[in-house]
Amino acid sequence: MDETLLKIKNLKTRLGDADSPVYAVDGVDIEVHRGEVFALLGESGCGKSMTALSAMRLLPPSGCIIEGEAFLEQTNLFALPEREMRSVRGGRVGMIFQEPMTSLNAVLTIGEQIGEAVRLHDGGNPVGVAHRVVELLRAVGIPDPERRAREYPHQLSGGMKQRVMIAIALAGRPRLLIADEPTTALDVTIQAQVLSLLKELQHSTGMAVLLITHDLGVVSEVADRVAVMYAGQIIELAETRSFFRQPAHPYSRKLFNSLPSLGSRDRELAVIEGSVPRLNQRFTRCRFLERCSQAQDICSQQAPEWSETKAGSGVRCHLFDSLPGPQQPSGTAVSARRNVQFAGTGRLLEVAGLKVHFPIHVGVFKRVIGQVKAVDDLSLTIAQGRTLALVGESGCGKTTAGKGILQLIRPTAGSVRFDGAELTGLSTGKLRSRRADMQIIFQDPVASMNPRMLVGDIILEGMQAQNIGENRSQRQARVIDLLGQVGLPADAAERYPNEFSGGQRQRICIARALAVDPRFIVCDEPTSALDVSVQAQILNLLKDLQQQRGLSYLFITHNISVVAYLAHEVAVMYLGRIVERGSVEEVLQSPRHPYTQALLSAVPEIDPARQRSVIRLEGDMPSPSNPPQGCHFHPRCSQATEHCRSAYPNPVRLSQTRSVSCFAVNPDRFS
C-alpha cells in the first residue's frame, strides 16, 4: 500500500502577469505520508503558504500554476473541475488559516459556521448536524459545547477561536489537515493547548498534517519530518530529530544561531544579513548567495541541484558535504561592543498601586453597572539602563499597564513617578512637554504609521512637536542619522511604509521613538510574529541602543525566550496584578508561582529529544469585569485551597529582588 497521501511534484506558481511575473513557488517537490506531521519551515515571503494554496487551488486572481502536479492519493487535484474540487476542500482536505478572527463570520454563531461545514461535507440531516457540531466542539476541547455553539466569535478567546477553526476543518473528516501558522502570536499556554490538540487528533483519527510555520520550537514539538523553504524552493528535507541534531544547509544553521536564550545573553545574536531575494527573476546562481558567509565561486556560477543525503532526506547546496559540523553561535560578545555601561542603580520609574478601570455602561442613559479592572493594584520599579519584562497571557492587562504608565490612558488610581516627578497629576499641556522622555513602540508597525506619510516625515513629526533641532535641515540630518542607527539606508526617508518588510517597518518605529531622545521606552510586543532572523536583528538593535544610550525598557511580551535574552528582571502578570517578580535567572530557572510554572512549562523545547511536562491550565482567564473572589488564579490552579478561594495573597519577599503572591510559598525556606 502506497503511504503517500499528498504528492506535489515540480510545482511552479506565478503571481502577476507575464510581463512582470513573480515566481512565488519555483519547482517544489513534497510528499506527505499518511498519519505524519510534515512541517514546512521558512521566513515570511519564501512561498510556504503559496505552496499550500496552490495545492488547494485557492490562489489570488493574479496567481496561476504554470507547471507541476498535485495528487491527493490517486486524485489529480489540478485536473479536477472546480465543482469537484469544492468537495475536496473541507472534505478530504481541511485547512486552518493563520488568522482565525478574519476567517470566522462575525455575524453568525459558532454552531452555524461549523454546521455549514458539516452539511456540505459530512452529509448529515438537521438533527444530526446539531449533534455533530457539539461532538466537534467537544473533540477540540471546548468546555460546555452546547452553550458555546450559540455564541459569536467575539465572545471567544483567541485560543478558542483557533479551536473553532480546527473544528470546522475536521467537519468533513479530512485525511489531510493543512495548518497555516496555527499558533502565530498566541500565548505560550494557548499554543501548548493547540499543539497538544493537533497531536491528539492526528493520533486518534490517523490524518496527516501539513504544518506551515516559521517557529522552530513548534516544529520540534510536533513534526515528524521538516522541509526548509527559501525563496520559492525547498532547500533542505530531513527527519525532525536529524534536522535539529545536524542541519545541513547554511541557512538552516543560521536560523538556529539566531534563536535568543538565557545562554546567549552575553553575545549578539547571529543575524542573517540582507533579505530574501526578489522572486521576479530567473536564478542562475544559489538563491542564498548574498546572505551566506560560506559561499564560494561555484555558488555564483550555477544554481545548486538537489542532493540526496540519505533515503528521504536531501539538501540544495553545492558545499553541503564539505561544510564543517554545527558550530557554536559566533555572535559578538556584548562586553566587547559596549560604548557606555550603566550600573542600573537609580530608580528612573516607580509605579505604586496603579489601577486602570473602565466603566461598563448600559441603556440609553449609559448607566454604569460595573468596572472592567484591566489593571488592578500594580507596582513596579525600573532603574536606568535596565529592562523589566512584563509577561502573561493576552487579556491580563500588560498593554493597558504600559499605556497607563505613559498616561496615554489616565489611571483610575495609583502613583507613577518618573525621575522623581509625579505624572498622574500633570495637565495635558505639562505632560506633553515630558513626552520626549517617554516613548512607546507599538506591536503592529503597520497600524501605528500613517501610510500616506513618507518615512522621513513620520520620524520628523515627533521632533517638530518637541521643538528638537534649530531648523528643518538639522532635523532632516538627524532623521538620516537615526535611520543609520537602526540599520536602514538614507533613501528610506523618501519611501512609504508599505515599501518595507515587517522587520524594516519595526526599525522605522524604533527610529521614530528615538527621534526625541527618550530615556524610557515601552516596547509592546515589538517582535511578535516576526521571523527568527528579523527578531534577532531587532533584539540586537534594542540591546545595542540600551548600552549606548542608557535606555530603560518596559518590555511587554509573551515570548519567554526573548525575555531570557533581553530582560534583567521579569514581572509575571495575571488578571491585572503581578503574581511573581524577580531577576531573569530567579524566575526562569526556579519559578515559584503556579501560574509562572505553567507558563514556563508550555514553552516548546528546541531539542525534540528532550521531554517536557506541560502543566495544562484548565479553562480561560476569568473576565476582568468579574474577577474571582480570593486569589484570581485559584479556579485554574491545581494547588488551590479554601484559603485561596477566600482571600488574595499578599506578596511574599523571597530575596532582595524577588517576591511572589501565593499562599503556597513559604518564605522561611528562602531565608
Helix (H), strand (E), coil (C) string for 68-136? EEEEECCEEHHHCCHHHHHHHECCCEEEECCCHHHHCCCCCCHHHHHHHHHHHHCCCCHHHHHHHHHHH
Domain end residue (candidates: 117, 141, 172) = 172
With DSSP H G I counted as helix, E B as strand and the rest as coil, what are the percentages for the chain, rounded to 5? 35, 25, 40
Taking alpha carbons only, the member of 404, 388, 657, 319 closest to residue 546 is 388
Asked whether residue 375 is domain-assigned, the answer is yes
* Cα–Cα distance measured from residue 256 to residue 270, given in angstroms and rounded to the nearest whole number: 9
Which 3 state secondary structure label does DSSP give 669? helix
Which 3 state secondary structure label does DSSP give 229? strand
Asked whether residue 62 is domain-assigned, the answer is no
What are the grid coordinates assigned to 213, written together? 510555520
Q: What is the CATH number of the domain that holds 395?
A: 3.40.50.300
pLDDT of residue 191: 81
Asked whether residue 24 is domain-assigned, the answer is no
Asked whether residue 595 is domain-assigned, the answer is yes
Average confidence (pLDDT) per 10 residues, the chain, 671 residues:
86 89 94 95 88 94 94 94 92 84 87 92 72 89 86 81 88 92 77 83 89 90 94 96 93 90 86 83 93 91 93 91 58 44 70 94 84 93 96 88 95 96 92 92 86 94 90 92 87 89 83 93 85 85 91 92 94 96 95 94 78 75 88 93 94 93 76 43
Residue pair 192/614 in contact (Cβ under 8 Å)? The answer is yes
- Number of domains making up the chain: 2
Per-residue buried b or exposed e for 168-203, using 16+ beta carbons within 10 Å of the residue's own CB: bbbbbebbbbbbbbbbbbbbbbbbbbbbbbbeebbe
Distance (Å) of CA 460 to CA 473, 501, 509, 515: 11, 21, 12, 7
CA count, 13 A, side-chain hemisphere, 315: 22
Asked whether residue 622 is domain-assigned, the answer is yes
Vertex 66 angle, CA 63 and 69, to 5° = 110
* Cα–Cα distance measured from residue 173 to residue 182, given in angstroms and rounded to the nearest whole number: 19
The residue to which cell 512561498 is assigned: 47
Asked whether residue 540 is domain-assigned, the answer is yes
* Cα–Cα distance measured from residue 172 to residue 116, given in angstroms and rounded to the nearest whole number: 11
Q: CB 429: neighbour CB atoms within 10 A?
A: 7
* Cα–Cα distance measured from residue 331 to residue 91, given in angstroms and rounded to the nearest whole number: 48
pLDDT of residue 101: 67
Per-residue buried b or exposed e for 10-25, using 16+ beta carbons within 10 Å of the residue's own CB: ebbbbbeeeeebbbbb
Indicate the pairing of strand 438-441 with strand 520-524. Answer: parallel
Angle between helices 158-170 and 188-205 (to 10 degrees): 20
Distance (Å) of CA 671 to CA 582, 651, 654, 657: 16, 15, 7, 13
* Cα–Cα distance measured from residue 175 to residue 155, given in angstroms and rounded to the nearest whole number: 31
Q: CB 38: neighbour CB atoms within 10 A?
A: 23
> What's the residue count for the chain?
671
Asked whether residue 588 is domain-assigned, the answer is yes
Which 3 state secondary structure label does DSSP give 515? coil
The residue to which cell 533542505 is assigned: 236
What are the grid coordinates assigned to 332, written together? 559578538
Asked whether residue 464 is domain-assigned, the answer is no
Domain end residue (candidates: 127, 144, 172) = 172
Taking alpha carbons only, the member of 137, 99, 96, 143 closest to residue 118 is 137
Which amino acid is it at 578? Answer: I
DSSP state of 289: G
Residue ranges making up the domain that contains 151: 107-172
- Model-level pTM? 0.84
Which 3 state secondary structure label does DSSP give 384? coil
The sign one gets for the Cα dihedral 447, 452, 456, 460 is negative
Domain end residue (candidates: 155, 172, 189) = 172
Q: Who contacts 404 (Cβ-Cβ below 8 Å, separation ≥6)?
A: 354, 356, 375, 410, 411, 416
